[in-house]
Amino acid sequence: MKIISYNLNGIRAAMKKGFAEWLAEENPDIIALQETKATEDAVDTLPLLKLGYELLWFSAEKKGYSGVAVFTKIKPKQVHYGNQYEQSNSEGRVIRIDFEDFSLVNAYFPSGTSGELRQTYKYQWLDEFYTYINELKKEQPNLVICGDYNICHKAIDIHDPVSNKNSSGFLPEERTWMDKWFDSGLVDVFRVFNQNPNEYSWWSLRAASRERNKGWRIDYISVTEPLKEKLKAAAILQQVKHSDHCPVRVEIGF
């Protein structure tokens, strides 16, 4: 089974850049999207439906903001829109899909780059999401957690760890949370297969950052420990360009 996570930074803009054509070629079983910035009725979904996907959307209340979606060729048993946290739900940040062998959680973690207020909310959201996932594990031990985590975990995950040590997304408190996350029985699937530096999933739109590969690895797929032995491959698809992010992919043998 091939699963992809991808922050599109606006699905309508990505569609104009050939997203549907790329999706047809890549042909994942499931693709989890973040920052869709659109409700389903505002998107020409026919090209996506023709590919055989069931389209599951959870948009923010504010138009043109945030939002997540999952497109799946595997029939879900149940869909859960949001979690128990009101602000996260109003911002369209979490959708969970239950399948026969596992549950997939697709999450768009908040950014704190716009100022102290949002950074404070980011810490609140991280604590809430950690609680949510740990409660969910009791119900469903096989979890795949896709998303734009908006955090670089280690120095290897960012092009310049020294100059960015005080930047949101690489703050000590955020990195400590990631330590706690992976110490709690979750696995960073990319690092199971690849320990190389310079493997990034997001680049600033400024200063030709992508061309110079001055990037950050902030997009992750995590799985719970019971799924680790089923992992077959993982990759960051840096050559794919519909967004300021690129897709990340995992193959799991169910």
Q: Which residues are catalytic?
A: 148
Task: Transcribe 203-243 into DSSP letters.
Answer: E-SSTTTTTTT-EE--EEEEEEGGGGGGEEEEEE-TT--SS
Rounded-to-integer distance, Cα 154 and Cα 123, Å: 18
* pLDDT score for 235: 98
Pairing of strands 30-34, 2-7: parallel
Distance CA 141, CA 23 (A): 29
Q: What angle do CA 221, 111, 65 make, to 5 degrees?
A: 95
> Between the CA of residue 53 and those of 39, 70, 245, what are the distances in Å?
17, 9, 22
Tens digit of pLDDT for each residue in 56-115? 999 999 999 999 999 999 999 999 999 999 999 999 999 999 999 999 999 999 999 999
pLDDT tens digits, the chain, 254 residues: what are they? Answer: 999 999 999 999 999 999 999 999 999 999 999 999 999 999 999 999 999 999 999 999 999 999 999 999 999 999 999 999 999 999 999 999 999 999 999 999 999 999 999 999 999 999 999 999 999 999 999 999 999 999 999 999 999 999 999 999 999 999 999 999 999 999 999 999 999 999 999 999 999 999 999 999 999 999 999 999 999 999 999 999 999 999 999 999 99
CATH topology of domain 2-252: Deoxyribonuclease I; Chain A (3.60.10)
Which residue type, as a one-letter code, is found at position 36?
T
Cα–Cα distance measured from residue 13 to residue 228, given in angstroms and rounded to the nearest whole number: 35
pTM metric for this prediction: 0.98
Q: What angle do CA 252, 229, 104 make, to 5 degrees?
A: 45
pLDDT at residue number 50: 98
Domain ranges in the chain?
2-252
Alpha-carbon distance values, 169 to 19, 48, 184, 245 (Å)? 27, 32, 20, 15
Instruction: Give me the pLDDT at residue 48, please.
Output: 98
For tokens 């960012």, name the residue.
158
Which is it for strands 30-34 and 68-72: parallel, antiparallel or unpaired?
A: antiparallel
